[in-house]
């Protein structure tokens, strides 16, 4: 009974330092586990004579109840403590909207380029490609540029650095996709009917000129090709791209590699020429989209094609300008700044 009294005296205090569930289980086992102090005393009950056994049994039960009660109190204390800790933490606001993954899509210039290619492919054109770095012979000489032409000036064209002591043609960043005309005619006998899209480079920089921009070249060479074929092709193209309302017009112009040469204008897709204050066409009713013409006989000859037998037309359209018309973009640099807010607004 003395041992039991001592236990009863210690039970409450034994649970006080408990801070965790494992500690709780250990203290509980100290009293009521298989080798616990109360359990061991209980095992000795049979040693007692009958009447004493009963009194001792009652005392043991009282101590057991005390241990259980202390355990319950301790559990409650641990739960409250854990909850208080939880509430004290930085709150998790489950009502905040989740972060949506951003959905990517084609850049307006790529969309424009693909649509232009599709329009020509539907008319039967093949797609050809040329390198962005090329020789000045392909970019200028074979296209009939005289050696002193201002376009070949360092101020207009990005030349690649020559290795020391190098002679022969210089390499440059092509200034137009007309290089592909040369490459195509040198590698394929007529008939030729291709478009060649890609990036080109010039020392240009203003609201409608970018140092890097995209063009698409067209070249058709065969027997009996006439200016009327060029006109019909570009008219069909403009209507496919901008709708039935749009027509094209040709203005006389000059390129060393075409004769006659023309500038191609598309009628304004916005006002159709009816609004003198239209911000797209500035009231003229027309927008310049590219250059074109009949391939110069000298160019055919330079590229191994017999000009007595074959004729051809060529055109070069500015993809950026077409995109500016389609999306009504006032400043070409917006297409290259990759401001997602602007791109998403198109
Ligand atoms: C040429 O580049 C000729 N190679 C086009 C050509 C091809 C004529 C075949 C005849 C036969 P031009 O320099 O005008 O021509 O450029 C053609 C188009 O490219 C322009 O109408 C314009 O739409 C676009 N362009 C020219 N420079 C820039 C620039 N810096 N930034 C954006 N677009 C430009």
Helix, strand, coil content of the chain in percent (nearest 5): 45, 20, 35
**Is the model's pLDDT at 279 over the cut of 90?**
no
Q: What is the mean pLDDT of residues 243-272?
A: 87
Residue nearest to atom 2 of ligand 1 (CA): 176
Encode pLDDT of 113-148 as tens digits. Answer: 999 999 999 999 999 999 999 999 999 999 999 888
**Is the model's pLDDT at 1 over the cut of 80?**
yes
Q: Which of 316, 317, 319, 330 to mutate to test the pocket of ligand 1 (most atoms within 8 A of CB)?
A: 316
| pTM across the whole model | 0.72
Rounded to whole angstroms, the Cα distance separating 209 from 326 reads 17
For residue 163, give the 3-state DSSP assignment: coil
Residue nearest to atom 15 of ligand 1 (CA): 291
Output the ligand 1 site: residues, CB below 6 A.
Answer: 176, 178, 202, 204, 209-210, 213, 215, 217, 255, 258, 288-293, 314-316, 318, 320-321, 332
Q: What pLDDT, on a 0 to 100 scale, did the predictor assign at position 177?
A: 97
**Is the model's pLDDT at 74 over the cut of 90?**
yes
Cα maximum dimension of the chain = 138
Task: Select the more confidently predicted residue: 113 or 102.
Answer: 113
CA of 251 to the centre of ligand 1 (A): 14
The two three-digit tokens of residue 81, written as one number: 């403590």
Rounded to whole angstroms, the Cα distance separating 326 from 270 reads 9
Rounded to whole angstroms, the Cα distance separating 257 from 312 reads 11
Encode pLDDT of 166-202 as tens digits. Answer: 888 899 999 999 999 999 999 999 999 999 999 999 9
**Is the model's pLDDT at 340 over the cut of 80?**
yes
Q: Which residues pair with 215 in a beta bridge?
A: 198, 318
Q: What pLDDT, on a 0 to 100 scale, did the predictor assign at position 278?
A: 78
Encode pLDDT of 22-45 as tens digits. Answer: 999 999 999 999 999 999 989 988
**Is the model's pLDDT at 330 over the cut of 80?**
no
Rounded to whole angstroms, what are the CA distances from 276 to 35, 59, 75, 285, 326? 103, 109, 85, 8, 19
Q: What pLDDT, on a 0 to 100 scale, did the predictor assign at position 30?
A: 93
**Is the model's pLDDT at 165 over the cut of 90?**
no
Task: Locate the domains of the chain by residue range.
Answer: 2-88, 108-344
All residues at 6 or more sequence positions from 152 whose CB lies less than 8 Å from its CB, including other chains: 136, 140, 145
Structural contact between residues 15 and 30, judged by C-beta atoms closer than 8 angstroms:
no
pLDDT above 90 as % of the chain: 61
Identify the weakest region by mean pLDDT among 69-73, 142-146, 235-239, 323-327: 323-327
Q: pLDDT averaged over the chain? A: 91
CA of 253 to the centre of ligand 1 (A): 12
Question: Which of 7-11, 215-219, 232-236 reaches the highest mean pLDDT?
Answer: 215-219
Q: What pLDDT, on a 0 to 100 scale, did the predictor assign at position 174?
A: 97
CA of 291 to the centre of ligand 1 (A): 6
Q: What is the mean pLDDT of residues 213-235?
A: 96
Q: What pLDDT, on a 0 to 100 scale, did the predictor assign at position 169?
A: 85
Q: What is the mean pLDDT of residues 47-74?
A: 91
Atom of ligand 1 nearest to the CA of 218: 9
pLDDT above 70 as % of the chain: 99
For residue 74, give the 3-state DSSP assignment: helix
Q: What is the mean pLDDT of residues 102-122?
A: 94
Q: Regarding the domain with residue range 108-344, which homologous superfamily does it belong to in the CATH classification?
A: Bira Bifunctional Protein; Domain 2 (3.30.930.10)
| Residue 68 pLDDT class (50, 70, 90 cuts) | very high
Q: What pLDDT, on a 0 to 100 scale, did the predictor assign at position 331?
A: 82
Residue nearest to atom 30 of ligand 1 (CA): 209
CA of 176 to the centre of ligand 1 (A): 7
Q: Which helix (H) or strand (E) holds 267?
A: strand 258-267
For 275, which DSSP code? Answer: -
CA of 318 to the centre of ligand 1 (A): 6
Q: What pLDDT, on a 0 to 100 scale, did the predictor assign at position 282?
A: 81
Rounded to whole angstroms, the Cα distance separating 201 from 212 reads 5
């Amino acid at each position: 009974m003395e041992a039991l009294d001592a236990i009863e005296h210690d039970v409450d205090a034994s649970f006080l330092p408990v801070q965790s569930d494992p500690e709780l289980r250990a203290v509980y086992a100290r009293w009521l586990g298989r080798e616990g102090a109360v359990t061991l005393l209980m095992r000795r009950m049979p040693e007692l004579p009958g009447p004493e056994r009963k009194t001792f049994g009652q005392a043991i039960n009282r101590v057991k109840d005390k241990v259980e009660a202390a355990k319950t109190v301790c559990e409650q204390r641990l739960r409250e403590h854990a909850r208080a800790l939880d509430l004290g933490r930085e709150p998790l606001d489950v009502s905040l909207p989740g972060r949506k993954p951003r959905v990517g899509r084609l850049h307006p210039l790529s969309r424009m380029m693909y649509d232009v290619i599709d329009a020509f492919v539907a008319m039967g054109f093949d797609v050809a490609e040329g390198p962005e770095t090329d020789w000045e012979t392909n970019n200028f000489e074979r296209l009939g540029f005289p050696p002193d032409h201002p376009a070949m000036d360092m101020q207009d064209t990005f030349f690649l650095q020559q290795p020391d002591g190098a002679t022969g043609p210089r390499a440059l960043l092509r200034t137009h996709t007309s290089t592909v005309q040369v490459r195509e005619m040198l590698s394929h006998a007529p008939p030729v009917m291709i478009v060649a899209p890609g990036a080109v480079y010039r020392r240009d920089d203003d609201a409608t000129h970018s140092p890097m921009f995209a063009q698409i070249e067209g070249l058709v060479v065969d027997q009996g090709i006439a200016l009327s074929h060029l006109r019909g092709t570009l008219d069909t193209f403009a209507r496919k791209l901008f709708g039935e309302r749009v027509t094209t017009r040709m203005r006389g112009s000059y390129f060393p590699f075409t004769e006659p040469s023309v500038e191609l204008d598309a009628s304004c897709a916005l006002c159709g020429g009816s609004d003198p204050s239209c911000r797209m066409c500035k009231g003229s009713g027309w927008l310049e989209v590219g250059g074109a013409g009949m391939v110069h006989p000298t160019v055919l000859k330079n590229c191994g094609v017999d000009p007595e037998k074959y004729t051809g037309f060529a055109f070069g359209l500015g993809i950026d300008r077409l995109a500016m018309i389609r999306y009504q973009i006032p400043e070409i640099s917006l297409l290259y700044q990759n401001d997602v807010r602007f791109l998403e607004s198109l």
